[in-house]
Structure 1
């Protein structure tokens, strides 16, 4: 044996050498005993490995159940009423001056026979109004809307169209057709899918026998299945944000022929949903030439449509939401909620009014209207009943008239809407068991409105009274809307508390297992068997109790019983098995530092400013650790360890600051933050210079990884091929992909079809090699070692040859576990680098080097058993989540990553690509967590599997603590003004991260150990 400079010799693996002087019979006997021992140890290892995976799977289920119960109580709900409005059931009689029904309409005389409703997805209001200063690309491109509204106000009007968050297309279409407010969960008797079952404008038109045509975004067909004429309807995939032309070209191709007089009898209402502007925004941002081109295309199309309309057809153009400065949406910033609404008719019946609350045409900023106001407006204009659940008010410009204000007509339509709202709120209170006295204040406005109406009918000079009636009805609608918002913001506190209790117990279980000093780390079979028995008995008992006493449904009772019974079984087994439980308090400075960093971050989520600046807080925490590690390394006994520890701490600190240069600022950070992740703050694409980042990464990163292997002479065997060739080639392929993507974005090459196909094929090959071929190779790979055997002969001076035991050197012995496992990290590294944008690829590369530096710091300071290593890995994952261009906001999700390896949406692959892009940093640190226990450990170190399990449990403990904190703060601050802007998105981010880390930890971090240990055992034997 010659252990020096990372070299060592093993005795068990080379028993034929160490026992070469024994007889053949003795050798056979010893070999048989060793084989029996190895077999027993292998069986024991496999059993422990399966039990560990079962244990962590149980932890995952606890987390999922806890999140489910809290979310069920936290996400706002409303009861969907099955009632439908009918022509024969007019909600009110407006005195004796108007009949109950009309020959040419329902509830109110209809104004139009037909309608063309065009939705330009993400049409922001300022895209449609003139701009006199230094224009952006989105200015002065779509001019026809403002032009007609100003030149012929009797024919058209253009207004800001305010969307209720969340500003996602699905939720917006629900509001645009039902007239009600969006909530996260709409609970009703029909809850079988995404189809809108409550009363809505489309259903009313269909019920009236109208022929409906839909063109464009296929989301309409999931919401209204079977409503549209099958022969005339043409739907297109809505999720392919890379495609700017297919949907728009298809809509225009089929829309214009339908408007010709020869086809007028084939349809009554056309819904056309264009997606090009939205997709251009997602891909390039609003301030881009492509967005300008799409807006000009819409301008030309609308001019053609206007020219083809007749007087009996209403034209409505609107955006379902806006977009932020990067072209994304989903939140509640002004740019995201302020869309545009334009209505046009050749009848010349529209007007502005002149009484202050209806803006005159000369104002610079038109008065905004809510999107739910569209439903009663279109219903009455088309002679339809107002949908039963509607909460909107008719848009005044459509009914006030083109000359002197027609206050009687305006008051009439608002009386109808107000009476329907009153009917709805009474039915809702009855269904919910609520006291309708909560609507007493709005009811006063309703009564005064009808009183003004009656007085106006009886008076010869009724304009002023009708105007007062209109004001009262408007106040009634506004007040009722506010009360409904508060009613639907009622949280299910018991369900939220149940979720928090389960998450807290799961946290306690993880803490007792991860940091207890006497718990059997490998969960011996007798321990888990007792826990399982107790858990099964308790599960049934608690399920019956929750179902019978607390009134939970069968599914909820079963879930609560499972969670409660499992926790009880774990606790009972821990208490009753000797030396299986101890309080998990830290006993060292490093342990307390891990606790302080975790709790400090958790407590801070109670502050909105802390949550907003979380990325900067994490930078401070990681810099603090690097500084403490530098000081600690200076105190090491041996000079080599001092230098190595200080050097790695310095690298960790410098890379931390360097990674902080990659930033994606959230709106609340402005103007104190400048985004660098994209080409600019107004673009969603990378600058050309950023294409150098993947190229530099492919050049330098494999060489840097190689130096860490060479430190223990481990750059042997599979490592030379994996690091020197496969990793370099994979990273280079990723760089080529992003060059091709930039060429496609910027039209550098004319043959776009060939370009798109080439990059998709390249991405698929790289992902296949990294995750499929790489994992398969990892399973069968040998350790990263090289064995050198010197001759066993010694020539003496008199040339007589005498026997001498053979000398065996094993290069890479000192880090045999860590270097082999790190090959799996390289596989995931190649995949995740591809799925990030170029700047994000640089952040993932920096993260990889920081992981290696952290491992050296842990080894130098003898911290492999401390909680600080996994906690710092958790902090690194959270920090680089921000550095890869993400924030705890819906609008920061890089949906375009779903098309990196695909041309169209394919389930489940498209969502998986988005998850890997979004949580790539946390995934990589979770894959790397076993290295905390494996790095620089000898082949036969005892209880190594348990050490790995404790490291993973500690990482999960960190993420579970963050999730519990964000969950509790979101529940406590549920009435906070910034709940849905800051606290709720952070809670949802923490919940998803925890579940993703759980699954990766089970399937990769623990699941891969079987082959890592087996490969090493083939050479050195089992522990």
Structure 2
């Protein structure tokens, strides 16, 4: 690097002197150039803002048809009227059905997977896990006292996030997958549910624990007895659980004076232990033993008139995460207990609880009707669950009287579901299934035989629920097609404008923006007749409505303006071979998302594509005429390939990749913490990464001025503090210093360190970038004059001139590296450090091979490979295109509790950090070692715009492809597990990249240009 840099520096010395002299002579032109520079920035920014809104509108229209929600009916069940419409009989101790219990204690142990509660399989070849045999009380009680307790697998409907599960557990209805988006911003539920019925009956409801309940049911709980706790801090295993334990037992000991009717206690320790450590960890064993003791104590405290229900809202996968639909995530636990003999079994074979979750499972929607009838409540109007048989029979096996009692409650729920079905069909204006009506008559004809009623009801219920599952999976194909059309049209506009752009930014964009406005106006005019005839909000977003037509008009106008201009000026040129390679990388990857196996193994595909790029650049470097370019090109191409392979050692396997994949990101396949040896990685990075950046700067003699202060001192100090943070975090996780420091003390120390790192990265780092001078060193040397006078002649030497724009802009990159790297575990830091190194290698490859975007040559390969690097390191930093891989703990690295907007920003930085870093580096593909023209940076705006468009083109293509494939494969078995999460990820990344290019890339370019102009008078 140094030889090449020195040769460029020597050749730039005299030229730099001439430019400075000329700049001093032409100060009068500086103001005009500054104005033109700002105009170029404004035009380019407006263009990318327009693209941003195109992406928003296209995605909105597609999701409007794809992510459907079911219609929520406002009807409420009533105690006065039976579900068949007849007046309710006079039942002195019941409503619809005689009362079984007066009170209830409902305990939710978040993420209580079924195999946590049953004995480990003795014949299993795998060794015992920490989650085995630490919560035996539920199983042992169900076996010893089948008349008092029963234990069953409790199957959740995906998505397995807490808020959606609470909706199903209280309303008894099926979720739709759009509800996943509200998991962390829950709105009050509007449909009839068991809490509504409790409130209408004048019951006193108490809640303890997870505050998610208060987002769903505001104002339902007794304010004097209720105690809610923050649910989002997955690093905190004990606060919520200890709070519930502290308050629940005094309530049980003083029931008469306190006067409560039902208690909901929601424990979070098991869930948080899974998120933090994984299920196979001593912390999980400790939490399960604590729950075992609490539940055993609860059974001793409740009286004979109180029902105790213990359940998990969902399970967890092998890493302790949830949100998807794998078996481990949906298999939760249900245990019901009574001090008196209130329960039974249908047959003698059912006495022992199921050994696995595959045997005799109970659906979570069945809980609502069961609790309602046991507690003398009307079954909520929207309920689709059936009563749990064991709660309504008292003998083993069930007697004829038991069968008749079960038949009675089944008929009540049948009538309630039929009423709901009738109302829903009326609201949606579709005809009810005649065969189901005939099945109703069949049920009534067997009402005298309880066992027959129960058998027929079970069949009818399964058929009805299946019908609704399919009904709520219907898609609005018209809206979906409209959204995809706009996304594809926007993609075409982006490609055409990028390929046909000229070197004159203002002359390019002014006609394009003008025609965009004209096209938008034409679309609005075309939509007016439809709006006049049907002025509704639905018409605005319909296929012939205002929004699609205005958006489509603007896109057609933009494309037409560019094509017409290019044809008139005959400025259409043939793309270079490097551009064809960039298009091949992009299109081949986009096409592969039609395959679920390709999507699952996307990280491996990216490894191959980046390696292929390295081979091409290595071969190209061997053909360079300049010896220094040839050597450096080969060196950096080979290094780029080696770094790609090195990054591949950081792996987090998704479930579908097993067993052929072995995770290395954490200590083990089932752990959520780093291995002790991985703590060396941050310390090594703090030493090597600043030195690597320093070496690249010294290649062009640019390691002067702010570069030494920021990279050599501040950046290195921030990385050292990051290493210290993760050492303290590991000490807290492993209780290494338990005898010396408490966990709260270690947390305080780690938060303080994390805030110091952010103080270095944000105020110091970004301030340095904004206010720093160019990384050049100007010196004046008096040389002897060759003339007879003998007077000394001053010679101006400018060190760092050869890379003045690139070295100045790159000061922004370490600030992003430091902000992101703190939020990543050690293996994630390893990947991000390699990503930063590869960015520098890529810049040198573009320079030595002459394939950077310039006014004449416009290969898109640099920005596209940057985008591929961002996608590749997304996977290498411990993420996958699944919801369960989101590292929520990043929100609590510098914070104790959730704080908006900082917590979401931290999650975005952690999740999309590599893409953010690579997007920030896009202008460097133009500015790195770029010769300086007399117009300064103003002459490069068109090239920077093309680089940003090429970078955005990659992400927009991926997003359009995943959207199109998700719509096309909407009935595919892997829709929820593979295609929809990848579509959501692509959409989120696209919006992040849009904003990064507008705010950071273009804004950073303007700051760099202004900084250089201030010194050199451009």
Give yes or no for TM over 0.5. Answer: yes
Correspondence for 2:478? 494
Q: Which of 991, 1001, 1006 is residue 1002 of structure 2 equivalent to?
A: 1006
For 1:679-709, what per-residue CA distance to the aligned partner results, in whole angstroms no more than 9, with x for missing partners?
1111111111111111111111111111111
Correspondence for 2:930? 937
Q: Which of 776, 781, 790 is residue 772 of structure 2 equivalent to?
A: 781
Query: Is the Cα–Cα contact under 8 Å of residues 519 and 580 in structure 1 kept in the other structure?
Result: no
* Cα shift at 1:566: 2.6
Query: Is the Cα–Cα contact under 8 Å of residues 12 and 1021 in structure 1 kept in the other structure?
Result: no
Q: Which of 662, 671, 675 is residue 663 of structure 2 equivalent to?
A: 675
Correspondence for 2:498? 514
Is residue 59 of structure 1 aligned with residue 42 of structure 2? no
Correspondence for 1:383? 376
Correspondence for 1:965? 961
Structure 2 CA distance for aligned equivalents of residues 422 and 346 of structure 1: 35
Query: Is the Cα–Cα contact under 8 Å of residues 79 and 186 in structure 1 kept in the other structure?
Result: no
Q: Secondary structure at the match of 1:815?
A: helix
Is residue 144 of structure 1 aligned with residue 137 of structure 2? yes
Query: Is the Cα–Cα contact under 8 Å of residues 513 and 558 in structure 2 kept in the other structure?
Result: no
* Cα shift at 1:447: 2.2
Is residue 868 of structure 1 aligned with residue 861 of structure 2? yes
Correspondence for 2:1012? 1016
Farther off after superposition, 527-536 or 48-57: 527-536
Farther off after superposition, 709-718 or 860-869: 709-718
Change (3 A) 1:253 1:631: same
Correspondence for 1:301? 294
Q: Which of 6, 14, 29 is residue 9 of structure 2 equivalent to?
A: 6
Query: Is the Cα–Cα contact under 8 Å of residues 442 and 475 in structure 1 kept in the other structure?
Result: no
Unaligned runs of 5+ in 1: 20-29, 457-464
Query: Is the Cα–Cα contact under 8 Å of residues 706 and 768 in structure 2 kept in the other structure?
Result: no
Structure 1 CA distance for aligned equivalents of residues 748 and 556 of structure 2: 55
Q: Which of 350, 361, 375 is residue 352 of structure 2 equivalent to?
A: 361
* Cα shift at 1:949: 1.2
Query: Is the Cα–Cα contact under 8 Å of residues 522 and 949 in structure 1 kept in the other structure?
Result: no
Change (3 A) 1:469 1:519: farther
Q: Which of 417, 420, 424 is residue 416 of structure 2 equivalent to?
A: 420
* Cα shift at 1:361: 2.1
* Cα shift at 1:518: 3.7
Correspondence for 1:553? 538
Change (3 A) 1:13 1:93: closer
* Cα shift at 1:508: 1.5
Moved over 6 A (4+): 10-13, 578-585
Structure 2 CA distance for aligned equivalents of residues 850 and 185 of structure 1: 38
Alignment of 1:153-168 (within 5 A): 153-168=146-161
Structure 1 CA distance for aligned equivalents of residues 19 and 453 of structure 2: 104
Is residue 410 of structure 1 aligned with residue 381 of structure 2? no
Q: Secondary structure at the match of 1:78?
A: coil
Q: Which of 58, 83, 87 is residue 75 of structure 2 equivalent to?
A: 83
Correspondence for 1:883? 876
Structure 1 CA distance for aligned equivalents of residues 996 and 353 of structure 2: 60
For 1:458-487, what per-residue CA distance to the aligned partner results, in whole angstroms no more than 9, with x for missing partners?
xxxxxxx31111010111111000000111
* Cα shift at 1:185: 4.8
Query: Is the Cα–Cα contact under 8 Å of residues 7 and 813 in structure 1 kept in the other structure?
Result: no
Is residue 704 of structure 1 aligned with residue 681 of structure 2? no
Q: Which of 105, 108, 124 is residue 119 of structure 1 equivalent to?
A: 108
Change (3 A) 1:895 1:18: closer
Query: Is the Cα–Cα contact under 8 Å of residues 159 and 367 in structure 1 kept in the other structure?
Result: yes
Structure 1 CA distance for aligned equivalents of residues 348 and 457 of structure 2: 16
Q: Which of 469, 475, 484 is residue 485 of structure 1 equivalent to?
A: 469
For 1:910-968, what per-residue CA distance to the aligned partner results, in whole angstroms no more than 9, with x for missing partners?
01100000000100000011111111112327621211111011000000000000000
Query: Is the Cα–Cα contact under 8 Å of residues 121 and 278 in structure 1 kept in the other structure?
Result: yes
Change (3 A) 1:66 1:101: farther
Correspondence for 1:25? none
Correspondence for 1:809? 797
Structure 2 CA distance for aligned equivalents of residues 446 and 346 of structure 1: 37
* Cα shift at 1:803: 3.1
* Cα shift at 1:603: 0.5
Change (3 A) 1:110 1:1006: same
Alignment of 1:154-303 (within 5 A): 154-185=147-178, 194-261=187-254, 263=256, 266-303=259-296
Structure 2 CA distance for aligned equivalents of residues 67 and 77 of structure 1: 16
Query: Is the Cα–Cα contact under 8 Å of residues 512 and 582 in structure 1 kept in the other structure?
Result: no
Correspondence for 2:459? 475
Query: Is the Cα–Cα contact under 8 Å of residues 350 and 401 in structure 1 kept in the other structure?
Result: yes
Correspondence for 1:27? none
Structure 1 CA distance for aligned equivalents of residues 440 and 504 of structure 2: 71
Q: TM-score, normalised by structure 2?
A: 0.93
Is residue 612 of structure 1 aligned with residue 600 of structure 2? yes
RMSD of equivalent CA atoms: 2.4
Structure 2 CA distance for aligned equivalents of residues 836 and 3 of structure 1: 38
Structure 2 CA distance for aligned equivalents of residues 523 and 957 of structure 1: 22
Change (3 A) 1:74 1:431: same
Q: Secondary structure at the match of 1:790?
A: strand
Query: Is the Cα–Cα contact under 8 Å of residues 66 and 475 in structure 2 kept in the other structure?
Result: yes
* Cα shift at 1:262: 5.1
Q: TM-score, normalised by structure 1?
A: 0.93
Is residue 756 of structure 1 aligned with residue 750 of structure 2? no
* Cα shift at 1:497: 1.3
Structure 1 CA distance for aligned equivalents of residues 473 and 20 of structure 2: 76
Query: Is the Cα–Cα contact under 8 Å of residues 113 and 268 in structure 1 kept in the other structure?
Result: yes
Structure 1 CA distance for aligned equivalents of residues 985 and 653 of structure 2: 17
Structure 2 CA distance for aligned equivalents of residues 217 and 1016 of structure 1: 55
Farther off after superposition, 68-77 or 548-557: 548-557
Q: Secondary structure at the match of 2:446?
A: helix
For 1:71-130, what per-residue CA distance to the aligned partner results, in whole angstroms no more than 9, with x for missing partners?
111113210001111112212399xxx983411111111100000000000000011111
Structure 2 CA distance for aligned equivalents of residues 652 and 242 of structure 1: 37
Query: Is the Cα–Cα contact under 8 Å of residues 445 and 476 in structure 1 kept in the other structure?
Result: yes
Structure 2 CA distance for aligned equivalents of residues 546 and 862 of structure 1: 54
Alignment of 1:687-766 (within 5 A): 687-749=675-737, 750-766=741-757
Farther off after superposition, 494-503 or 768-777: 768-777
* Cα shift at 1:519: 7.3
* Cα shift at 1:272: 0.5
Structure 2 CA distance for aligned equivalents of residues 580 and 140 of structure 1: 79
Query: Is the Cα–Cα contact under 8 Å of residues 14 and 796 in structure 2 kept in the other structure?
Result: no
Q: Secondary structure at the match of 1:385?
A: coil
For 1:208-229, what per-residue CA distance to the aligned partner results, in whole angstroms no more than 9, with x for missing partners?
1111101111111111111111
Correspondence for 1:917? 910
Is residue 74 of structure 1 aligned with residue 70 of structure 2? no
* Cα shift at 1:590: 1.2
Structure 1 CA distance for aligned equivalents of residues 717 and 246 of structure 2: 45
Correspondence for 2:96? 107
Q: Secondary structure at the match of 1:331?
A: coil
Is residue 793 of structure 1 aligned with residue 784 of structure 2? yes
Structure 1 CA distance for aligned equivalents of residues 527 and 756 of structure 2: 49
For 1:537-593, what per-residue CA distance to the aligned partner results, in whole angstroms no more than 9, with x for missing partners?
235325535645786537635543542343244235435657799898852221111
